[in-house]
């Protein structure tokens, strides 16, 4: 008995598009994951092996980038409608398109040093923190004699849409990376800081909550205000900022994965990508880690 081909669809899932709009110094960012499923006259592809009706999923992905460049991403819905209409209108065998979009929302980092503007004083022009997903951590060790308290946070995702370069690095025969004087710098901060508090009789306990909030602010401010030659240098600036302002913190350890944003090559479609459309890669990632401690303090936060 013959079997019947039932519902089928295909497309590209989870294309990560970051669209930066640069209106002068003040940037806007849109960060989405797009999943497109197309269906239509695709029976022959499954039954006979003819690919004549198949627009490659690679082209579907490219379309996501190209339309983001040409029309921007005004809203997830608007972008989704544009994409869905595009495939049905432009690709003859395609009769239905389903476009799912997840949008990651970014807020501007607030820093006292940001230029005051009519539109949002104290908000950085090109430094952003991703909303949601952040976790506060604490680790306490007590062996009956010595107390060790380490506060922390993880999942704090930040981005500078400019103000970052990476050049002058060592090159060997396997180096293909091109130098850049203007790149997107994005990372997901894991920070742990050890308090000098010993819990001795009569020693005042620090305000854990206010201290934690201050450290978070200082990490964000340093990230936003540092012109970055590398993530390593930014790490040092962030750690130093915390030690400068928190006398009760003896050391801070930071783990900063470099969340690479690769400019998409739009030349094949006759479009110029002027640092506007990026592919946000999730792996592999550079992993930059380091401790900043006070002179004389013996680092005790474990290296993971
Ligand atoms: O800030 C960076 N540090 C690196 O060590 C590195 N390595 C790399 O390929 N890109 C970058 N960026």
For the sheet with 261-263, list strands across it.
94-104, 26-40, 15-23, 277-280, 261-263
To test ligand 1's pocket by mutation, which of 160, 228, 230, 238 has the most ligand atoms within 8 angstroms of CB? 230
To test ligand 1's pocket by mutation, which of 159, 165, 166 has the most ligand atoms within 8 angstroms of CB? 166
Tell me: the pLDDT tens digits for 270-283? 999 999 999 999 99
DSSP three-state, residue 8: coil
Tell me: the pLDDT tens digits for 187-199? 999 999 999 999 9
Residue nearest to atom 8 of ligand 1 (CA): 286
What gap in Å lies between CA 103 and CA 32, rounded to an integer?
4
Under the phi-then-psi rule, with left for phi > 0, alpha for psi from -120 to 50, and beta for the rest, what region is 168? left
Binding residue positions? 57-58, 166, 183, 232, 258
What gap in Å lies between CA 231 and CA 262, rounded to an integer?
16
Q: Has 12 been annotated as catalytic?
A: yes
Catalytic residue among 69, 126, 195, 260: 260
What gap in Å lies between CA 276 and CA 274, rounded to an integer?
5
Under the phi-then-psi rule, with left for phi > 0, alpha for psi from -120 to 50, and beta for the rest, what region is 163? left
List of domains in the chain: 15-104 (3.30.1130.10), 109-260+285-293 (3.10.270.10)
Q: Which of 79, 49, 81, 278 minimizes the C-alpha distance to 183?
A: 278
Q: Has 260 been annotated as catalytic?
A: yes
Could you give the ipTM of this predicted complex?
0.99
Tell me: the pLDDT tens digits for 213-230? 999 999 999 999 999 999
pLDDT of amino acid 173: 98
Q: What is the CA radius of gyration of the chain?
A: 24
Q: Evaluate if residue 121 carries a pLDDT over 80.
A: no
Catalytic residue among 21, 53, 57, 137: 57
Q: Which residues of 82-114 are buried (b: 16+ CB within 10 A; e: fewer)?
A: bbbebbeeebebbeebebebeebebebbbbeeb
Contact in structure between 19 and 33 (CB atoms under 8 Å): no
State the number of CA atoms in the 13 A half-sphere of 96 facing the CB: 10
Centroid of ligand 1 to alpha carbon of 177 (angstroms): 9
Whether 228 lines ligand 1, by a CB cut-off of 6 Å, is no
List the structure tokens of 198. Answer: 């010993």
pTM of the predicted protein model: 0.94
The ligand 1 atom nearest the CA atom of 231? 1
Mean pLDDT of 171-184: 98
Q: Has 46 been annotated as catalytic?
A: no
Mean residue pLDDT across the chain? 96
Catalytic residue among 12, 69, 86, 261: 12
């Amino acid at each position: 008995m013959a079997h019947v081909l039932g519902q089928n669809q295909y497309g590209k899932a989870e294309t990560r598009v970051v669209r930066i709009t640069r209106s002068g110094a003040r940037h806007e960012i849109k960060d989405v994951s797009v999943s497109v499923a197309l269906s239509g006259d695709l029976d022959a592809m499954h039954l006979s092996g003819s690919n004549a009706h198949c627009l490659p999923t690679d082209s579907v992905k490219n379309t996501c980038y190209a339309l983001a460049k040409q029309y921007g991403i005004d809203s997830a819905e608007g972008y989704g409608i544009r994409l869905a209409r595009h495939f049905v209108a432009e690709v003859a065998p395609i009769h239905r398109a389903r476009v799912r979009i997840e949008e990651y929302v970014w807020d501007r980092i607030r820093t006292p040093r940001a230029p005051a503007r009519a539109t949002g004083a104290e908000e950085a022009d090109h430094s952003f923190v991703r909303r949601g997903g952040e976790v506060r951590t604490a680790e306490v060790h007590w062996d009956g004699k010595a107390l060790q308290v380490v506060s922390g946070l993880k999942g704090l995702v930040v981005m500078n849409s400019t103000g970052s370069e990476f050049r002058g690095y060592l090159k060997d025969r396997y180096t293909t990376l091109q130098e850049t004087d203007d790149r997107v710098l994005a990372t997901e901060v894991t920070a742990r800081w050890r308090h000098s508090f010993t819990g001795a009789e009569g020693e005042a306990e620090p305000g854990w909550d206010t201290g934690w909030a201050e450290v978070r602010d200082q990490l964000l401010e340093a990230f936003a205000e540092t012109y970055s030659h590398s993530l390593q240098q930014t790490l040092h600036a962030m750690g130093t900022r915390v030690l400068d302002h928190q006398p009760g913190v003896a050391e801070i350890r930071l783990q900063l994965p470099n969340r690479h944003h690769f400019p998409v090559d739009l030349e094949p479609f006759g479009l110029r990508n002027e640092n506007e459309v990026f592919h946000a890669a999730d792996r592999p990632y550079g992993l930059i880690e380091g401790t900043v401690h006070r002179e004389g303090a013996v680092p005790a936060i474990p290296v993971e």
